[in-house]
Chain A
Amino acid sequence: MEPGEAASFILREYSKCMSCGFCEAACPTLPFGPHRGYGPRGRVRLASLAVENGSISAEGVAGIYTCLLCAACMLRCPAGVDIVGVVRLARELLARGAIRAPERIPLRLVG
């Protein structure tokens, strides 16, 4: 996908999010993550901020790349946000350098 198209897709999907958090209960990675960026709602927000700012923090990158793409969250999302699509396209923008990111990323786990 062209970077502009991917960015629009991410912003459009984020605009559907009502922040209800129903997705979070289904996410396997969130209970082990140090912040909400390890869960679906956080990942969608991080991706949209990264598109808006053209950059992302190291903790944000960790959230984006620890997603399993397992889609358990999408069963729970009442707004029908394509969470997996958002995460994958954020990775594509990062790989293309369309979003600036630190080279080394922290992987902090709880417990």
Chain B
Amino acid sequence: MASASPLKALLEFLRDSTLRVGLPVPLPMEEIYSWALPLRLPRMGSVILYTGALYQLMPYIESLTRYLSALEGSRVSDTLLRLARILIATPKLTRTLLAPEPARVERARRILTNISRLLSSSGVAHAYPYEDDLYSGVLLYDLGLDDAFAEVAGRVYRKLKEHGASTVITVDPHTTNILRNVYPSYVDGFDLEVVNYLEVLSRAAEESRIRLRGLVSEAVIHDPCFYARYLHIIDEPRKILERSGVKVLEPRRSREATYCCGGPVESVAPRLASKIAETRLKELAEKSKNVVVLCPICYTNLSRANKLGLRILDIAEVVEAEVPGSGSPQ
């Protein structure tokens, strides 16, 4: 089946939105930081929890992909994307138009809240940059928009420094990789230590600084490409799950040889992304109905294609800190 992609219009939209609003989809910044308000995390500190907005953005990107998917092949999509540029000046309107499922928005907030609590329970105090928790620019880099990416990377670095950061804790594979492996080549004098929360948590569990409990008894694990092949964060999630009492099952293609969820092309080629996700879901279903993912893009793309009734859960929905005296896991 043939169709066409409004590639140029899409690239310009992502670039302009990220440069002007700080996010690839123009939303009010409170959508990104409001999860942290009840936790009263300090604004300043040498250890900063930086989400790069990916978990919070995914429900909106999912809505946007639904529109793009419906329009794939139609010439209207170019015109609509050009008209959509007006949204960059009106983030509140974008939020209303995209109207993601409230449960998805709430879920992202719950995951980030649990990650922050897991870090605190491990004895890792951290600050949060609130309105400066900007998108890292990963998509701009991946799509070859280097000048715009360099500008975004410089801005994100300056903001993190303004909040006092010397160490940054990241929560997803794409943001971790871009900060650890790419920012140093684009930002003069880049001097932040970049650690991923799974690394922090797995070390804390090993050193018995935290007791964990799991909310499922077993699950098949889906390694994200960027943890497995770019960052070699492979044993950490397994250790965390095992320490939580979750039996980890390995799919046919796992660890370094993991198979992509298809998510990276969901905005350029949504139907292709779904076909890849369906292929992966069949492999995962061979081992368990419970699938643990470690990346918000994997979650979104696999969930969109989930016709097999699998229970897809982020690791931060499966694992929590055991509070002393709260009894044994369910």
Contacts and interface: CB of A to CB of B under 8 A. Distances in A.
B3 A32 contact: no
Interface in B243-300: 256-260, 262-265, 268-269, 271-272, 275-276, 279-280
A94 B146 CA distance: 11
B7 A65 contact: yes
A75 B275 contact: no
Nearest to A89: B144
A13 interface: no
A66 B142 CA distance: 11
A106 B230 CA distance: 30
A87 to B, nearest CB: 9
A90 B142 CA distance: 11
Interface string B152-185: 0000000000000000000000000000000000
B232 interface: no
A77 interface: no
Contact of A111 (B141, B143, B262, B275): B275
A106 B7 CA distance: 10
A56 B86 CA distance: 31
Interface residues of B, number: 37
Interface in A44-65: 61-62, 65
Contacts of A92: 144-146
Contacts, number: 102
| Most chain B Cβ neighbours within 10 Å, of A28, A93, A111 | A28
Interface residues of A, number: 34
B2 interface: yes
A88 interface: yes
Interface in A1-31: 1, 26, 28-29, 31
Most buried by A among B2, B7, B256, B264: B7
B144 A94 contact: yes
A28 B277 CA distance: 10
Contacts of A79: none
A91 B143 contact: yes
B108 interface: no
B144 A109 contact: no
A26 B256 CA distance: 12
B257 A72 contact: yes
Given A88-B144, A103-B8, 20 more contacts: A28-B260, A28-B276, A66-B268, A66-B272, A67-B265, A68-B263, A68-B264, A70-B225, A72-B259, A75-B229, A92-B146, A95-B11, A95-B143, A103-B7, A104-B5, A105-B4, A105-B7, A107-B4, A107-B269, A107-B272
Interface of B: 1-8, 11, 72, 78, 141-146, 225, 229-230, 256-260, 262-265, 268-269, 271-272, 275-276, 279-280
29 contacts: A28-B280, A29-B272, A32-B275, A65-B143, A65-B269, A66-B265, A66-B268, A66-B272, A68-B225, A68-B260, A68-B262, A68-B263, A68-B265, A70-B260, A70-B264, A71-B229, A72-B260, A75-B256, A75-B257, A88-B144, A89-B144, A91-B144, A95-B145, A103-B8, A105-B7, A106-B2, A108-B1, A108-B2, A109-B275
Top 7 nearest A-B pairs (CB, nearest first) are A91-B144, A92-B144, A70-B260, A70-B225, A68-B264, A71-B229, A28-B276
